[in-house]
């Protein structure tokens, strides 16, 4: 695991927390390394490919 790994996730508009496709959740302000492009987290990529909603 690397801290530079990028995840596919969704930011909550009501509390600013981020939940990634691979099931991690960061409180507001800790999602700087999360992006919606150039995702390289294999779990997130697999889930995205499967079309998990």
Residue nearer to Zn ion on the CB measure, 7 or 31: 7
Q: Are 42 and 25 in contact (CB under 8 A)?
A: no
Point out which residues pair with 16 in neighbouring strands.
none
| Structure tokens belonging to residue 1 | 């695991």
Q: Which parts of this chain interact with Zn ion (CB under 5 A)?
A: 7, 20, 22, 41, 43-44
**Cβ nearer to Zn ion, comparing 2 with 14:** 2
Quote the least distance from Cβ 13 to Zn ion, whole Å: 20
To the nearest whole angstrom, how small is the minimum distance from the Cβ of residue 31 to Zn ion? 12
């Amino acid at each position: 695991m690397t801290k530079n790994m990028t995840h596919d996730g969704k930011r909550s508009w009501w509390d600013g927390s981020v939940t990634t496709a691979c099931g991690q959740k960061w409180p507001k302000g800790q999602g700087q390394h999360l992006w919606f492009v150039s995702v390289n987290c294999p779990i997130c990529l697999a889930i995205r490919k499967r079309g998990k909603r």
